[in-house]
Amino acid sequence: MSNKLLKIEDLELSFKMYEGLSYVLKKINLELHKGEKVALVGESGSGKSVTTKLILGLLNQKNVTKKGKIIFNDKNILNLSQKEFKKIRGNNISIIFQDPIAALNPVFKIKDQFYEVNLNNKPMSKKESFFIASKALEKVSIRDPERVLESYPFQLSGGLAQRVVITMAMINKPELLLADEPSTALDVTIQNQALDLMHDLTQETNTAVLLITHNMGVVRKFAEKVYVIFRGVIVEEGTKDQVFKNPGHPYTKALLNSIPKLTNNQLPKFDEDSPDYAAIAKYTHR
């Protein structure tokens, strides 16, 4: 049996606008094996988050055109019905969003939100769900899980909310976790704790991770394999060591140069007037 969990083949996405077609993704090819940690890295607007939405079946508007394949467990899921996707989301594929407070429903207590996630897996009572969620939160070093479960999202700190969101995403032991900028809204110390927690939980269940980020420092800490996306095109791919030690594309070099260094007080300029930007645009033929 193949060890390949997710394979994206020639994926294209465009939106029908008043002015004409707007192409967002062009010929995206990406592979993820079981238990593998892969980063899809690029700046805002490069096409990272819409890729995760396509994997989850969250782009079904009439003005959307999709081409290519998203093969998950040997099945093309790109055009599944919402009824079929509902069976996959939260069970086989889970997602963590970048803002943990915004990811939680503000009008429901945490226990009720765990209950909805647990029901995805199998029917159970609210009492059973509370017990399962409490044990899961204890496992991630939350000392007072009962208080947390009885809380509303606004009553939690950012770091605590992120632990809740990660636990909620992992409680049904998914095969694939999509982590969309999971630590951007947190300070550096809490960010590292969240990444360590995500690493430990996914390692324990052999869950594969597709990490969506613009932060090469996070990529260095977490990922094994890297895909670099620019203007909807994968411009470079390789192992973490290959990409960090010998980047081949000028955009990848710019991303690496953007990592803050103690010896440099200024971040490199990288805007549309920059010679590097022109070189990248030419390289991608866009």
Domain presence at residue 120 = no
What's the domain count of the chain? 1
More confident site: 12 or 280: 12
Domain presence at residue 241 = yes
Q: How crowded is residue 106: how many other Cβ atoms within 10 Å of its Cβ?
A: 9
Percentage of residues in the chain having pLDDT higher than 90 = 56
Q: How far apart (Å, rounded) are the C-alpha atoms in residues 232 and 251?
A: 13
Domain presence at residue 211 = yes
Give the pLDDT band of residue 29 (cuts 50, 70, 90).
very high
More confident site: 32 or 215: 32
Domain presence at residue 190 = yes
Which of 121, 120, 200 minimizes the C-alpha distance to 167?
200
- What is the sign, positive or negative, of the torsion defined by CA atoms of 156, 158, 159, 163? positive
Domain presence at residue 168 = yes
> Would you call 8 exposed, middle or buried from its count of C-beta atoms within 10 A (0-12, 13-18, 19+)?
buried
How far lies 185's CA from each of 47, 106, 172, 193, 255, in Å? 20, 17, 25, 13, 20
Give the pLDDT band of residue 140 (cuts 50, 70, 90).
confident
Domain presence at residue 261 = yes
For the stretch 199-226, pLDDT in tens is 899 999 999 999 999 888 889 989 999 9
Domain residues for the domain of 36 are: 4-107+152-284
Q: How far apart (Å, rounded) are the C-alpha atoms in residues 38 and 34?
A: 11
Element (H, E) at 158: helix 158-170
CATH number of domain containing 74 = 3.40.50.300
Q: How far apart (Å, rounded) are the C-alpha atoms in residues 67 and 59?
A: 13
Domain presence at residue 132 = no
Domain presence at residue 131 = no
CB of 212 closer than 8 Å to CB of 40: yes
CB of 118 closer than 8 Å to CB of 171: yes
Contacts of 173 (CB under 8 A, 6+ apart): 205, 207
